[in-house]
Structure 1
Amino acid sequence: MDKLIKAVFQLQDFKIRTDDDFIDRLNRQYTPGVLVLFAILISIKQYVGDPINCWVPAQFTSAHLSYANTVCWVSNTYYVPFDVAMPHVNEARHMISYYQWVPLILVSQALLYFLPCLFWRFLNRRIGLNLPSIIEASRATQKAVFPETREKSIRYVVMQIDSYLTASVRRHLPTGAHAGGWCSRFARALSRSWCLACCKMYGNYLTCCYLCMKLLYLANGIGQLWMLDVFLGFQRSYQLYGFHVLVKFLRGEDWSQSERFPRVTLCDFQIRQQTNVHRYTVQCVLPINLFNEKIFIFIWFWLLAMAFMSTINIVHWLTRQTILSTQTAYVRRQLSSMDTINKREHRATREFTESYLRRDGLLIVRLVANNAGGLVAADVLHGLWTNYGPEKRGLADIASAASTSRAGRSPHEIDDDAHGHGRWSRVKRFLVGGKRTPAHVDDTNTFPEDI
């Protein structure tokens, strides 16, 4: 009991995780909240009020009336319009069988909308990156009053991102005699052109998981329209239910009366009296369908809006994370806003984006910008640029120049590089993590225009 009381009083310290964007929060937070609220409302009407009232023959006692109401509630009723003749005993009927299970189906919809979020959090936790703490620290930076607090928060965020980026580079760095083979070059080119390829080896893992989560949200919204169609038994017409309501509304017709949610239904049941079995057909009122109708109209428009916004959001993030020129331009714009780079370092920013940040680093920075603002994201990028170091930026330019001039070198010089004696091999050893030697210093001095 003590643990329960402590848990109740600690609810005020509960914080909602923000490791995604606003459209994701609409899917995983606001949509389940709305569905659970509707489920509570319907449950109160079912268990507190009278969900069904049947008109029974005059000879029925109060016990018969209670029995008829209970039997018609737990069994399925059927709908027959007043201008249509009653069906025969063995004739098919338009059965209404959903009203008892509406709270359960609403709670199930809420759980289905939260599953993609669990998928995203499970996968990004496996790589050892505490993304929610990074976003939370970024939000604390935005609200910081003292410069020291802001600087510590930025340093923490930069340290976490840099640790993840450098660790992933070391873990998946190609080694051996075939490290630079055509397979490795093809995989590297494929990963740069498409963010869903070679995701774990070339810095696309988080991006791949994030886009998969968004695709699950989209599939969830579309799939639930078909699921409700089967559950409500509308003869495959719930997908167009909202359009029918709009057409009636624009024509000035009564859109609140629908055969899909009838308020007056019929119920058949039998009563055994000694050896005789009496069959009765009573007319029942379903006041709960007054709520069900409005709730499922709202849910139809809500699911359609969520599917539309999820589609636009997926296209937006695909454009952001797939096109490398867009990523490089974003990094340059953020760094230029803080006077971090000059015109001579544009080639270095491209190497910084493609080789150091890659798509996962840019995804984290963009999530920081979405949740904590562009100024905090610019500070984080500035810290990552500082960690990248002037030596790596200079040697990145040297490596680019050496790779372009490699085609015109003699076979003897290329053979020296293959055995580790050439200038290009020493630059590569430095980029991998080796320490600077006098030979490196002499080589860098031969390219003053690139430094």
Structure 2
Amino acid sequence: MAAAIGIAKTATEIFLGVGEVSIDNFTFKLYYKWTVTMFIVSSVLVSTSQFFGEPIQCETAEDSIDDDVLNAFCWMYSSFDMPSSYTGSCARKRVDSTHLYNTYYQWVSIFLVAQAMLFYIPRCIWILQEGGLMGYLVKGTTGRVVENADEKKGNLLRNFQIHIHNKFSAYAFCFFFCELLNVILVIFAIFITHKFLNNQFLTYGLDVYLYFSLPPEERIRQETVNPMCEVFPKIAACDFHRYGMGGGMDNRFGICVLGLNMINDKVFVFIWYWYCLLIILGVIRIISRTSQIASSKVRYFLMKIKMNAYFGKHNHHMRHIQHYVLNCSIGDWFVLYQMSKNLNKRFFAEFIALTAMIVNPDPNIAPEEPEIFFSDEEIFRIKNFSSTEVSKDSDTKNGDEEEEGAEEEEEESSKPSNPFAKVEGDIEEASGASCLTGKQRMLIKNGKGAISAKHKAMVANAQVRRLKRR
């Protein structure tokens, strides 16, 4: 029992994508995962005889015809219109000049598999375009605890600056196109299903709902039409042709029970309502994408909702983040939004704050005390690490002479500013006060020493890094 539960749990997690890197969204999954699964399950269901017996069983007034021969003949070749005088249940009543043949009953299983393949096309297109980008960016940073967070932030920031910044608008628009393609394919699937069922599908689900909304005494009346029996009749007629004993044609009229349609009618009712759901959600998604493309404020609003716990009033970096998101390209925003679904939330909040202050800082905003649990020293270290890596990549391409010039320029620019200047000034001002006790003066002296040592350590670390590069 425990093993069965474990298998079921594993299968459910695989189906729902638990633990996988997300490269799309819930609406997209409805099309390529839930819809495809629904079609595959339906195809297996209608092709498995154990649920409803044989697909067709026929009989004639005489027993001179072998049952297997009669069933095979009627299944493959006969027309299934019942005479208008027939008063039995669940037969086709809308008899007109057009004969209803059984051809589409035989193809239902294959038709459903073809539908499943159709809805997987946008997924294939997106996988080819995505190319594993999201898995590469978020590797090692998706868990509850991120080890070596500073180093990974620096690496991620470097990759974002070099390989992604202002280069992935086509990436975003490809995904938007796949979302639009999903809606187009639903509409296309509705019309090909309508043709497949002899032009009886467009209002099929609504007709079934209206029929079962009638009182029971109305439904059993002879003139009341059951739409499920019109599209998938359970009782049908068959004309069996054979040669008699004298060599002439001998025609036999048989009545057949189509057990297969006990499943088909319900499957296509579910498909009809599922298509309606997909169209509604798909259109909503397209409208929302249009607003995102047209307005950077909408994009910022969505990012803020996604990271609500870290983008509140307590975050002093929100002005930097807001400026960056409002001014970045649609490609940058989409990549960051996809990353926010996969990265550790706190790690992503720190990363986007660093990105906002380093990649495209707002010159009108004065530096602020970091609020997302990292210090000015950490910002300096990560920024220095990132800029060093960027300069390395460019120096390799420009030759030895340009490399030396870049290193000299970097040596001048990498001299760390003293992040404790304001604190030192406050201590100097306080140390001149005459009202301080001897113990307070001793504490101020110790504070000066600690700040000086910290500043010297930062300078030494910068020099060590320069020596290593040389």
Which residue of structure 2 lines up, in the alignment, with residue 106 of structure 1?
Answer: 112
Seen in structure 2, the aligned counterparts of structure 1 residues 48 and 95 have a Cα distance that, compared at 3 Å, is closer
Matched residue type, 2:72? T
Which residue of structure 2 lines up, in the alignment, with residue 341 of structure 1?
Answer: 317
Matches within 5 A, 1:193-232: 203-232=168-197
Secondary structure of the residue that 2:253 maps to in structure 1?
strand
**Equivalent of 2:297 in 305, 325, 329:** 325
**Equivalent of 1:79 in 72, 78, 81:** 81
Distance 2:86 2:155 in 1: 73
- The answer to whether the 8 A contact 1:141-1:149 is kept is no
Seen in structure 2, the aligned counterparts of structure 1 residues 28 and 379 have a Cα distance that, compared at 3 Å, is farther
Secondary structure of the residue that 1:280 maps to in structure 2?
strand
CA drift of 1:131 comes to: 2.7
- The answer to whether the 8 A contact 1:336-1:342 is kept is yes
| 1:95 and 2:101 aligned | yes
Seen in structure 2, the aligned counterparts of structure 1 residues 342 and 101 have a Cα distance that, compared at 3 Å, is closer
Seen in structure 2, the aligned counterparts of structure 1 residues 247 and 55 have a Cα distance that, compared at 3 Å, is same
| 1:244 and 2:244 aligned | no
Which residue of structure 2 lines up, in the alignment, with residue 360 of structure 1?
Answer: 331
Distance 1:60 1:51 in 2: 22
CA drift of 1:204 comes to: 2.5
| 1:162 and 2:161 aligned | yes
Which residue of structure 2 lines up, in the alignment, with residue 382 of structure 1?
Answer: 353
Secondary structure of the residue that 1:279 maps to in structure 2?
strand
| 1:33 and 2:4 aligned | no
Distance 2:68 2:184 in 1: 44
Q: Any stretches of 5+ residues in structure 1 without a counterpart?
A: 1-10, 169-202, 398-433, 442-451
Which residue of structure 2 lines up, in the alignment, with residue 193 of structure 1?
Answer: none
- The answer to whether the 8 A contact 1:271-1:278 is kept is yes
Q: Which moved more, 1:366-375 or 1:292-301?
A: 366-375
Distance 2:142 2:205 in 1: 42
- The answer to whether the 8 A contact 1:79-1:262 is kept is no
**Equivalent of 1:278 in 237, 250, 255:** 250
Per-residue CA distance 1:378-414 (angstroms, 9 max, x = gap): 3442242254176xx44999xxxxxxxxxxxxxxxxx
Which residue of structure 2 lines up, in the alignment, with residue 171 of structure 1?
Answer: none
**Equivalent of 1:123 in 116, 121, 129:** 129
Matched residue type, 2:210? V
Which residue of structure 1 lines up, in the alignment, with residue 144 of structure 2?
Answer: 144
The count of residues paired between Structure 1 and Structure 2 equals 341
Seen in structure 2, the aligned counterparts of structure 1 residues 361 and 276 have a Cα distance that, compared at 3 Å, is same
Secondary structure of the residue that 2:23 maps to in structure 1?
coil
Distance 1:360 1:167 in 2: 7
Q: Percent identity?
A: 19
Secondary structure of the residue that 1:99 maps to in structure 2?
helix
Per-residue CA distance 1:238-263 (angstroms, 9 max, x = gap): 11111111112222354685211100
Distance 2:318 2:334 in 1: 24
CA drift of 1:340 comes to: 5.2
**Greater Rg, structure 1 or structure 2?**
2
- The answer to whether the 8 A contact 1:261-1:292 is kept is yes
Matched residue type, 2:30? L
Seen in structure 2, the aligned counterparts of structure 1 residues 49 and 379 have a Cα distance that, compared at 3 Å, is farther
Secondary structure of the residue that 1:77 maps to in structure 2?
coil
Distance 2:301 2:97 in 1: 69
CA drift of 1:305 comes to: 0.5
Which residue of structure 1 lines up, in the alignment, with residue 340 of structure 2?
Answer: 369
**Equivalent of 1:54 in 48, 53, 58:** 58
Seen in structure 2, the aligned counterparts of structure 1 residues 362 and 66 have a Cα distance that, compared at 3 Å, is same
- The answer to whether the 8 A contact 1:366-1:377 is kept is no
Distance 1:247 1:118 in 2: 39
Secondary structure of the residue that 2:47 maps to in structure 1?
helix
CA drift of 1:103 comes to: 0.8
- The answer to whether the 8 A contact 1:369-1:376 is kept is no
Seen in structure 2, the aligned counterparts of structure 1 residues 157 and 105 have a Cα distance that, compared at 3 Å, is farther
Per-residue CA distance 1:88-134 (angstroms, 9 max, x = gap): xx964232321111110111111111101111222333xxx613444
Per-residue CA distance 1:341-377 (angstroms, 9 max, x = gap): 365x58xx54x3466x411111122223345686554
Distance 2:325 2:108 in 1: 51
Seen in structure 2, the aligned counterparts of structure 1 residues 260 and 386 have a Cα distance that, compared at 3 Å, is same
Which residue of structure 2 lines up, in the alignment, with residue 189 of structure 1?
Answer: none
CA drift of 1:157 comes to: 5.0
Secondary structure of the residue that 2:104 maps to in structure 1?
coil
Which residue of structure 2 lines up, in the alignment, with residue 24 of structure 1?
Answer: 28
Q: Any stretches of 5+ residues in structure 2 without a counterpart?
A: 1-10, 220-225, 367-404, 414-470
Seen in structure 2, the aligned counterparts of structure 1 residues 52 and 157 have a Cα distance that, compared at 3 Å, is farther
- The answer to whether the 8 A contact 1:52-1:285 is kept is yes
